[in-house]
Chains A and B, each alone.
Chain A
Amino acid sequence: GAVVSQHPSRVICKSGTSVKIECRSLDFQATTMFWYRQFPKKSLMLMATSNEGSKATYEQGVEKDKFLINHASLTLSTLTVTSAHPEDSSFYICSARDLRVRETQYFGPGTRLLVL
Chain B
Amino acid sequence: GQQVMQIPQYQHVQEGEDFTTYCNSSTTLSNIQWYKQRPGGHPVFLIQLVKSGEVKKQKRLTFQFGEAKKNSSLHITATQTTDVGTYFCAGGQDSGSARQLTFGSGTQLTVLP
Contact = CB atoms under 8 A, between A and B. Distances in A.
A65 to B, nearest CB: 21
Interface in B54-113: 88, 92, 97-106, 108
B31 A103 contact: yes
By secondary structure, the A interface counts as strand
A68 to B, nearest CB: 20
Interface residues of B, number: 23
Q: Number of contact residues on A: which range applies?
A: 20 to 34
Contact of A105 (B30, B101, B106): B101
A97 B48 CA distance: 13
Contacts of A107: 35, 42-45
Given A103-B48, A107-B43, A46 B101 contact: yes
Interface of A: 1, 32, 34, 41-46, 49, 51, 57, 93, 95, 97, 102-110
